[in-house]
A and B are shown apart, each in its own frame.
Chain A
Amino acid sequence: MTEKTHDPVTFDIIQNALEAVADEMFVAQRKTSMSAIIYEVLDLGTGICDAAGEIAASGAGIPAFVGVLDKAVKRIIEKHPPETIQPGDLFASNDPYWGGVTHLNDMILAMPVFAEGRIVAWTANIAHWNDVGGNVPGSMSSEATEIFQEGVRIPAVKLIEAGRPNQAVFDILYVNTRLPDYLRGDLWAGIAGVRIGERRILELVEKYGADTFTAAIDDFMELGERRARAALKTMPKGTFTFEEEQDDGAIHKIIIEVTDEHFSVDLRDNPDQKGSSNSSREGVEIAAQLAFKAVADAQAPGNGGFFRPLKVITRPSSIFHVVEPGALGYYSEVEIRLFDLILRCLATHFPGLVPAGNFASICGTVVGGKHPDTGRHYTIVEPQLGGWGAWNGRDGNAAIFSGFHGETFNCPAEVAEARYGLTVDHMALNPAQGGEGEFRGGKGISVHYRVRANDNFLSVGYTRSRMPPWGVAGGRDGTPNYVEVLRPGKAPERYSFGTNIPLNRDDVVHVVTGVGGGYGDPKKRARNAIAEDLRHGYLTPERARTVYGYDE
């Protein structure tokens, strides 16, 4: 038996407890948030970082938020000298140029946990706020060119100092939003969340001692790293390149290098930053982390240790590394394009390693205006469900959130009708044909929101709107994502990006999300599977004939 300095079971118990604390923070914040996008869509993430800001544990929620909190905490530590940080402090940042990573709508709150006179951990959370000011309601504009147009910037400042609220910051926040009630509720929900985390960690430290506690976190990071390195060993090695045309004609290029030691993603040869579809370098790292995790070991702890073998190379002033004062409202579409590009590059070189392409867009949809019955202002901010790609042995999933959203819930029609005063004419699977293969892609959705009052508005940010989800190994491509505005007596207007599109009584917003890509030659699809697809109306007889050669 080898000598161990600490008891491994104690480490396990502390590590399990950290995840339980992150989950508890998540539950607490979810339950108290004011905005549907937080409590219902769960556009929210919680986490615990070590003293240096490395992520140790994350609460359930959005995978794309898992890697955000560490980067924010590191920036807070960088900005604030240790002697200025004290127990009871609580920091806020929403500014991607100050550790905010994503866009100004996402507010990060972080709190140091002190024990035995030193910081032993940080608790942190991130949540999407409906409105933080800026040019347009909802704050995200596809037409923004500078961050100043996107809302109030909170550059990693102390919101609470030693337990005392810094009222100035609260006041500034309250006046810089179109929805102060929501902001206030969401802010306090977030504060309660990090405070609960702090309390729980203090209990752990009290029980096990600060040294054992921090040693357990270090051990957890090492476990993450060991699992990542073990996975790397089993992956195909080499340098793999891929380039892909985007909806707007731009070409995105990637070079992936896999060795026994690292997984590197080179993104230097990509377009210059422009408009609001840009990502911070940290945001790009998160997209790469997600793809790496999915491919390497989806079940491993998603902690800082796991991501150590990952390297990302970017070029400042490009869409994958925006510099000040570039706008980032639709950063998420840039990140998800990269996530999808990494998977597609690997799938092209190694068919079967990952499923065929999915609808791969957040499909951010914002509708707002006055509730026709109550007269109160409402804003819906919603990602959409879509179709996922098939893999060898299984058809793709129908109607689930993109790879960036995980334990996220769509808004029920009954809730939308009551809360927003819209009429949902239908919420159905998208009947579009595509994504055929030996295994076929899953269906996206088709939803009709009928507006009941004048002076409503719509903003959208969809990609994969012209270039569809990709098939693999002979499987067909899927179908695109888009929004149509249907006005009585007028021809449909089709959008992928749009800001503040006016909507009036009886106008219909038709949300359409893509069918996922197929896997394998459609001619090899089992006849009974085709017959089932026909019976269920997933497939038309015409298409069965032309694509599957099925004529029975």
Chain B
Amino acid sequence: MGDTILRIATDVGGTFTDLVYFETDLSTGKQTIRTAKSDTTPPNFEQGVLNVLDKAGVPLSQADFFAHGTTVVINALTERKGARTALLTTKGFRDTLEIARGNRPDFFNLMYEKPAPFVERYLRREIPGRVDYRGQEMQPLDLSGLPAILEDFKAEQVQAIAICFLHAYANPAHEQAVAAEIRRLWPEVSVVSSHQITREWREYERSSTAVLSAYVQPAAERYLARLETGLTDKGYKGRLYVMQSNCGVDSFESTRAIPITMVESGPASGFWGAAELGRIIGEPNVLALDIGGTTAKCSLIENGQVRIKTDYWIERDRKSSGYPIMVPVVDLVEIGNGGGSIAWVDDFQKLHVGPKSAGALPGPAAYGRGGTQATTTDANLALGRISADYFCGGTVAADMAAVDAALADVARKLDVSPIEAARGIIRIANSNMVNALKLVSLNRGYDPRDFTLVAFGGGGAMHAVGLGQELGVKKVVVPRGASVFSAWGMMMSDLRRDYFVTRLMDETDLAGLNGLIAETVDHAVAQFAAEHVEPGKVAVEPFLKVRYRNQEHSVEVPVAADGLDTEAVARMIEAFHAIYEKEYTYRLDAPVEIVGLHLIARAEVGKLEIVALPVTGLTLDQAIKGRRPVDYATEGVHEATIYDAEKLEPGMTFSGPAIIEDPGTTIVIHPKNRVSIDAFGNTHIEIRG
């Protein structure tokens, strides 16, 4: 056609597969957003994606962009539905995976249960050969035992092999040689080496990363291949992208090689969306909050930049040490508090909210599907914060009798009134979320008062203003289409890769520093070239990882990509002291060392151009649906004005107490808050009082 641009985002969740597509009419600039939903179809997840495309009747042959996010990887891990995996490692280290780090977070509990390794001991085998920490070979690799090991693996029906050798981050030659030999002897088996995923030290973390990657690889590879075939069959001709955990997208082709990088693809797109939104509305410092049905996730964006780290673990909490995956993941904190989180009272009359969730079935008591336990959503209904007459955008009749019964149960155990109990649930849920937001801000040395809170997901807007007031943020912004905001973020993403390399160096080693940067940049450019991106289109940002000598935890200091001289290094060191002091409150007069590099490489893949929302001349009065009393917990009950989000237009302003109702979410505006709708239809809430 040419006069419209059609972009598609799909997202495979645990229960539903979502589709969002954006159509931009190039002549009028008008953008239309459509959404559709169908069931997720395990184990053939690609089928759900194809189904939802059919259901929405998307003209795939005319689509220009297709991005895909998925929980397939994380679900395969947490449900233990991966491949039968074996591990090959350096002689003397097959137990690394089982020894792990020896920590015990539930430390008073003598019956703590250490997580079982993903590869049992008899499938962990050793190969002689050693490389030292500088990458020099100390003992040559001896592959003479490999054929017999592979025969054993075949007999044991192994489907995937992970390879992790000591110091392979410094020199991957031994891993490469083992992988090549396996491909020669057993081409059918899936193989992944630690150095393909990470170039950082710590053998347990790298082994775990390689093992978990191998574990999900066959299924993820198959799934992406079938999806690609399915889309091609339906006539899609454009390039296909997969959302990654580092807030970028990557091609199907490279994701198939290392699918573990998709592990947090869901939350990453929302946080990237928040960063992009921040740039568009001139708020580069953002606290992003995504509240869904079972969890709340948050992340901090400074100067338009998301923070990417490789210190990522699954199943890690106060009860379990979990499993590390050393891949670039957006720095996020996730807690078990969402709309469906269950409120409960312990034996000592203490009220708790979450982490257990009522899920989709039975769901909150208000769904009337047999849920008897009060959830955050039920409390929001009882307090009038959500309208019983417009529950789930008016598609579900709220079962208020069930809500009252569930709250009465909590109230009885707490010895308070049901309304007090509902307020308590909201306050505890908010307190949990405030603590999570503090973890990504205050705990990292940032003052929330310098930030704008951007809240999205189905439940974000309900709590955002209360949280923002508690944290003292500048203002709260709820994006237009908050409930499908993650999909929007996916369409705004760049093709992006984050490279982390461990290499210990003194700051005086100019040649070493420049060598490391140049070598990593060349590697990145070559990888992008393989994706048909010209070198000139690749933007690179190197950050040195710097610390005071002998410390462990480094901070990232930006440097130029095109060669450092003595002066540039001196400026970098000064910047290090300042960044360090900001995060840790003091600086030292001590020698500094470089531990490695973090290189961000990205190329634009044709972002969605955001256009202003048309003003049709509706008046504010026309957007008012009515009034009702709303209980603001600690701020008491107020008569709130109810607005219809779909009738709010750019330039409109009004004050709280108010409620804005959108089919996907409800925005709770507290008394004295000042609301304005910006040119793009986003809701800005100035916090006063």
Contact = CB atoms under 8 A, between A and B. Distances in A.
Contact of A417 (B133, B415, B417): B133
B407 to A, nearest CB: 14
B553 interface: yes
B202 A400 contact: no
B79 interface: no
A512 to B, nearest CB: 14
A408 B104 CA distance: 7
A418 B107 contact: no
Contact of A397 (B112, B347, B548, B585): B112
A398 B98 contact: yes
A230 B347 contact: yes
Given A9-B427, A39-B551, A196-B585, A410 B101 contact: yes
A172 interface: no
B202 A414 contact: yes
Interface in A383-425: 385, 391, 394, 397-401, 403, 405-410, 412-415, 417-418, 423-425
B551 A399 contact: no
A303 interface: no
Interface string B111-148: 11110000011100000000011100010000000000
B347 A290 contact: no
Contacts of A418: 133, 201, 504
Interface in A177-209: 181-182, 184-185, 188-189, 191-192, 195-196, 200
A292 to B, nearest CB: 10
Interface stretch (A75-83, A134-142, A522-530, A531-539): A531-539
B99 A1 contact: no
Given A406-B104, A427-B99, A414 B588 contact: no
A85 to B, nearest CB: 22
Nearest to A36: B552
Nearest to A448: B92
Contacts of B134: 373
A397 B133 CA distance: 31
A272 B551 CA distance: 41
Nearest to B550: A34
Nearest to A11: B350
A60 interface: yes
A210 interface: no
B122 A536 contact: yes
B92 A427 contact: yes
A428 B91 CA distance: 10
Contacts of B105: 60, 406-407
Given A24-B443, A63-B108, A293-B108, A32 B550 contact: no
A400 B100 CA distance: 9
Size bracket of the B interface: 35 or more
Interface string A239-273: 00000000000000000000000000000000000
Interface string B536-552: 00000000000011111
A459 interface: no
B527 interface: no
A13 interface: yes
Contacts of A17: 431, 435
Nearest to B430: A13
A195 B428 contact: no
Nearest to B587: A188
Contacts of B590: 181, 184-185
B385 interface: no
Interface string A41-57: 01000000000000000
A20 B434 CA distance: 11
Contact of B99 (A40, A189, A293, A410): A410
A179 B537 CA distance: 50
B66 interface: no
B409 interface: no
Contacts of B351: 8-9, 12
A191 B586 contact: yes
Given A20-B438, A63-B108, A299-B108, 10 more contacts: A1-B417, A20-B439, A63-B107, A223-B350, A227-B348, A230-B347, A355-B111, A406-B108, A414-B202, A428-B92
26 contacts: A2-B415, A9-B351, A9-B424, A12-B350, A24-B439, A31-B583, A34-B548, A34-B550, A39-B552, A62-B107, A181-B550, A192-B586, A223-B348, A227-B348, A355-B111, A385-B99, A400-B103, A410-B99, A414-B166, A415-B201, A417-B132, A423-B132, A424-B92, A429-B99, A537-B121, A538-B121
Which 6 pairs show the lowest CB-CB distances between chains A and B? A406-B107, A426-B92, A536-B121, A385-B102, A418-B133, A298-B108
